[in-house]
Amino acid sequence: MSANQKQYFGTDGIRGTVGKAPITPDFMLKLGWAAGRVFAEQGNGRNKILIGKDTRISGYMFEAALEAGVTAAGVDIILSGPMPTPAIAYLTRTLRAQAGIVISASHNAFQDNGIKFFAGDGTKLPDEVELAIEQQLQKNVSTVASQDLGKASRITDAAGRYIEFCKSTVGSNLKFNGLKIVVDCAHGSTYHIAPAVFEELGARVKAIGVSPDGLNINLDSGSTSPEALARAVLEEKADLGIAFDGDGDRVIMVDHQGNIVDGDEILYIIARDRRRQNIDFGGVVGTAMSNLGLELALDALDIPFARAKVGDRYVMAQMLKRQWRLGGESSGHIICLDSTSTGDGIVSALQALAALSNSDQTLAELRGKMQKLPQSMVNVKIAEKVDLGKNEAVQSAVADVESTLGDNGRVLLRPSGTEPVVRVMVEGEDRETVDRLANELSELVAAELANPAS
């Protein structure tokens, strides 16, 4: 590994299958020690790191391992127990901790787990700090003198602190009195937080996905399976539904008709309300996967729009570069930098509900103001990483499809960062045409990958 190359950290921390390197107890102990060493060298006086987790069963094992490693490096720890990822970002900042660690695999199933880090200001760690931790991982674990060992304590009012913070991101006069909401917490870390937030603001809440058992996180529920929420909204005759993922940094909504409202539409609703309220937020950052309908709808409002690579890390980088305050992904990872320091599902949902209140319109009416273009995506399996940009046959086919679609269409070929597939995405005005072109292009890509020399 070169000095500038990361072996373990990906675009969103370290993640993988529990029991397979590096997601093992011995690695987590060493990771805790390495992080402790780095932050101890950077700190002044008594250093402390906040550790939180989601509800998956392996979180307890890794929490204990990290605790041992961090304290062996001479750094104090504060344990929050199960808390949403954005709550750890907030509490890291307000508790003046040097760093926050979240044990979570976000929207993945319980068999996976991972580690995310936050800097003291509640933002993701800079690359140079991640590199410094990786360099410490190359060394043997050593323990400071007994009198210098870190101490562990538990914060008992973490949930209450975070609930109050979430409520503070909308006006103190805002009340959801009379609004009936179904809230799906995916049996994840928002289970004891999200229902209380909306109830305390006056809504009538039907909570589902709030019985975590360590194994059911994200199982047929939450933002990755919003169909369950849609059924519940219709059964309850609710005004809308809100679904979070396992660690609470994503949100997907459902209107009273059972229609799923994705991250692009939520981002549009928030941006439109900011513009109507004359709030300066600069513009909106989406990703290469953001629906063209979002770009066209924002353009109609004279709101600047830019695309980043897929991943909230890249969205955040573009936002900071342009000094814009809104950004997000169609998956529901939305960042409102005028409200908090990272992507936050609960905070984003509150911004959307505030937009409903300010406009006196339903979620269905507001989502209808943005017309999503039909989008078709086909996953083509690959055996190894490949550069399709150098394949003349593929590039010629892409050019032909783009010519067919015209100005109101897009083509995107993107290797997945988490699966051995290339995602072939086609977007345009006509559903039948989009589906046909996506299938044809994916078949050609598959053929070229199978026989690249042909």
Backbone angles phi, psi at 363, to 5 degrees: -60, -40
CA 203 to chain centre: 25
Omega before residue 212 within 30° of 0, cis: no
For the chain, what is the total number of helices (H) and then of strands (E)? 14, 18
Give dist(CA 442, CA 423) in Å, integer.
Answer: 9
Q: Which residues pair with 16 in a beta bridge?
A: 113
Give dist(CA 29, CA 49) in Å, integer.
Answer: 14
Which residues, in sequence order, are CB contacts of 369 under 8 Å at separation 6+?
Answer: 268, 272, 297
Helical (H) or strand (E) element with 298: helix 292-300
Give the residue carrying structure tokens 């996506």. 438
How wide is the angle at C-alpha 108 spanned by C-alphas 102 and 112, nearest 5°? 70
- The answer to whether 211 is a known catalytic residue is no
Closest to 379 (Cα-Cα) out of 445, 424, 436: 424
Catalytically annotated residue among 58, 80, 104, 106: 106
Q: Tell me how crowded residue 117 is: count the other CB atoms within 10 A of its CB.
A: 22
Give dist(CA 291, CA 297) in Å, integer.
Answer: 10
Residue 6 region, left (φ>0) first, then alpha (ψ -120 to 50), else beta? beta
Does residue 40 contact residue 47 with C-beta atoms inside 8 Å?
yes
Give dist(CA 3, CA 361) in Å, integer.
Answer: 54
Q: Which two tokens stand for residue 351?
A: 């911004």
What distance, in Å, lies between the first and last C-alpha atoms of the chain?
A: 35
Closest to 80 (Cα-Cα) out of 151, 154, 191, 150: 154
Q: Which residues pair with 112 in a beta bridge?
A: 17
Give dist(CA 348, CA 250) in Å, integer.
Answer: 9
Does residue 192 contact residue 346 with C-beta atoms inside 8 Å?
no
Give dist(CA 127, CA 125) in Å, integer.
Answer: 6
Which residues, in sequence order, are CB contacts of 24 under 8 Å at separation 6+?
Answer: none
Which residues, in sequence order, are CB contacts of 357 under 8 Å at separation 6+?
Answer: 174, 176
Catalytic residue positions?
106
